Amino acid sequence: MPDTRPKIVGFCCERHGMDAAVLAARSGKQFEASVRLVQVPCTGRVDGMHILRALEDGADAVFVLGCLEKNCYYDTGSIEGRKRVGYVKQMLSELGLEKERVEMFNAASSNSWVFPEIVAKMVEVVKKFGPIGGEKR
């Protein structure tokens, strides 16, 4: 039987983003298990091509999770990440895909409740628009 869960990729900074995800799991918070996390040194290092490649490789939605903008380990990494996500969203719109499939979020490492909320939001986006290409899984 084929897997019908949405395919979601999350690029998480190795500091606050990934820590929030790990803390959520350790705290027993429930979230969609089909999310694939990619740990990155900083969201400022996530290039638009990384996001587009994830979508090309089968992701139905992609999120980038970084430090709080005023508390970024690398000062402006989260700001740069947000700019790149914005650029990809613009490209998706021009290509006729829903820009909501790509989002940027920020969290502190102690925010265990934020990660499940982010995942739930991205799952809802995929449920609303369906898988990319309209294929039923």
Per-residue pLDDT of the chain (137 residues; tens, 9 = 90+): 666 789 999 999 998 999 999 998 888 888 876 899 999 999 999 999 999 999 999 999 999 999 988 877 778 889 999 999 999 999 999 999 999 999 999 998 888 889 999 999 999 999 999 998 655 44
Residue 34 lies in a domain: yes
Q: How many domains would you assign to the chain?
A: 1
Q: What is the pLDDT of residue 57?
A: 94
Per the structure, the complete domain to which residue 98 belongs is given by: 8-134
Residue 3 lies in a domain: no
CATH number (domain holding residue 50): 3.40.50
Residue 1 lies in a domain: no
Residue 128 lies in a domain: yes
Q: Which residues are within 8 A (CB) of 20 and not within 5 positions of it... i.e. 6 or more apart?
A: 12, 65, 107, 108, 109, 110, 111, 112, 114, 115
Which amino acid, residue 86? G
| Residue whose pair of structure tokens reads 């820009």 in the numeric block | 99
Q: What is the pLDDT of residue 82?
A: 95
